[in-house]
């Protein structure tokens, strides 16, 4: 606890300890009070298996979409100088501060059956996003994309631009440099952004239910299932939360050793 710079001061240690307690205590309490005996029974239910599969599927697809769209946007924000860049960066962050339900309402007004884009789209093609798994993914992407963009943009900024210059002097086109230099150097940030996006998607509830609705097998994800169980079967809700918690933990721990240990 002490080194040549002096002891770690209590005014830092005490809040750090409080922060740890605040983060860990509720999770530990959940583990302690969960009806473990119901776990097997719960895991066997069709509803849980459907919701879990759908959660993993939509979170994973949404993370992929976030990467495909977020990496280029982060690159543009970090590397291209254009008027309105600061404004665009601010706009990208806005979904972070929106209450999830508001995010859902915003999505409805754009892509809903009566939305600005949703209505003409439905009229022209008969397709609409609400009540579909694609709608769930769109909601997840909407709330997760800011994490990916912010995280990758930070990584691109700290992965110094001089390396791009070095690549250019060696004859690399911008796209070649992007693939062979920019992305590899930003990899820790990209991985962190994707993990954040995946975790955010897995826990997403408000925007999903407001925009895509709730139907088992199509749009019902774990958080919705848990929320609905709280009213009728509080014990079951705890067990379901436990399953979601363990699932997220397993993925985060598996990823941590591989991706999150940044040099």
Partner 1 sequence: MSDLDASLEVPGRVSADFAADRGDVIAVIGPNGAGKSSLVKAVAGLVPATGRVTLDGRNLMELPTRERGLGVVFQDQLLFPHLDARDNVAYGPRARGVTRADARRRADQWLSALGVGDLAHRRPGQLSGGQAQRVAIARALVTDPTLLLLDEPMSGLDVGVATSLRIELARHLSEFGGIALLVTHDALDALTVANRVLVLDEGKVAQFGTPHEVSQRPVTDHVARLVGLNVIRAGDELRAFEPTAVTVNLTEPTGSARHRWAGRVAAVTPHGAALRLVVRTADNGPELIADVTPEAATELELTLGRSVWVSVKETSVRAYTNRTQ
Partner 2 sequence: MPRPILTRLLVPAAVCLLLPLSACGDDTTEIKVLAAASLTESFQTLEKQFEDDHDGVDVKLSFGSSTTLAEQANDGAPGDVLATADEKSMDLAVDGGSATGEPTKFATNALVLVVPADNPAKITGFDDFADSDWVRCDDEVPCGRLAVSLLEENEVEQEPVSREVDVKSVLAKIASGEADAGFVYASDAVAAGDDVKMFPVPGADEQPNPYFIATLDQSGDSDLAQEWLDLVSSDEGQKVLEEAGFSTP
- Candidates 29, 33, 114, 262: give the one binding partner 2 (CB under 8 A): 114
Rounded CA separation 77/2 (Å): 42
Q: How many residues bind partner 2 (CB under 8 A)?
A: 22
**Burial class of residue 140 in the structure, from the number of CB atoms within 10 Å of its CB (0-12 exposed, 13-18 middle, 19+ buried):** buried
Query: Is 174 one of the binding residues for partner 2 (CB under 8 A)?
Result: no
Q: What string marks each residue from 181 to 210 as x (binds partner 2 by CB under 8 A) or -?
A: ----------------------------xx
Query: Is 171 one of the binding residues for partner 1 (CB under 8 A)?
Result: yes
Residue span binding partner 2 (CB under 8 A) among the ranges 51-59, 79-87, 168-176, 223-231 = 223-231
Q: What string marks each residue from 120 to 139 as x (binds partner 2 by CB under 8 A) or -?
A: ----------xx--------
Query: Is 96 one of the binding residues for partner 1 (CB under 8 A)?
Result: no
DSSP annotation string for 141-207: HHHHHHHHHHHHHHHHHHS-THHHHHHHHTT--HHHHIIIIIHHHHHHHHHHHHHHHHHHHHH--HH
Token pair listed for 231: 């009213």
Contact (Cβ atoms closer than 8 angstroms) between residue 80 and residue 72: no
Estimate to the nearest angstrom the gap between the alpha carbon of 52 and the chain centroid: 16
- Candidates 232, 258, 261, 263: give the one binding partner 2 (CB under 8 A): 232
For binding to partner 1 (CB under 8 A), which residues are involved? 162-163, 165-173, 176-177, 180-181, 184-185, 187
């Amino acid at each position: 606890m002490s080194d040549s710079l002096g002891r770690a001061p209590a005014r830092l240690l005490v809040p750090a300890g409080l922060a740890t307690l605040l983060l860990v205590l509720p999770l530990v309490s959940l583990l302690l009070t969960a009806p473990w005996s119901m776990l097997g029974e719960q895991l066997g239910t069709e509803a849980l298996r459907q919701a879990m599969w759908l959660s993993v599927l939509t979170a994973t697809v949404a993370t992929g979409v976030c990467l495909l769209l977020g990496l280029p946007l982060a690159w543009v924000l970090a590397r291209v100088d254009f008027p309105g860049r600061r404004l665009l960066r601010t706009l990208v962050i806005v979904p972070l501060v929106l209450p999830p339900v508001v995010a859902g309402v915003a999505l409805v007004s754009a892509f809903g059956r009566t939305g600005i884009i949703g209505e003409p789209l439905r009229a022209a093609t008969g397709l609409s996003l609400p009540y579909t798994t694609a709608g769930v993914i769109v909601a997840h992407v909407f709330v997760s994309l800011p994490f990916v963009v912010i995280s990758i943009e930070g990584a691109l900024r700290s992965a110094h631009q001089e390396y791009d210059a070095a690549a250019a002097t060696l004859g690399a086109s911008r796209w070649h440099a992007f693939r062979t230099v920019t992305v590899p150097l930003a990899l820790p940030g990209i991985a962190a952004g994707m993990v954040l996006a995946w975790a955010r998607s897995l826990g997403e509830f408000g925007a999903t239910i407001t925009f895509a609705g709730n139907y088992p097998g199509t749009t019902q994800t774990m958080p919705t299932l848990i929320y609905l169980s709280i009213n009728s079967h509080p014990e079951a809700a705890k067990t379901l939360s436990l399953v979601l918690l363990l699932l997220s933990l397993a993925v985060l721990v598996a990823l941590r050793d591989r991706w999150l240990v940044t040099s």
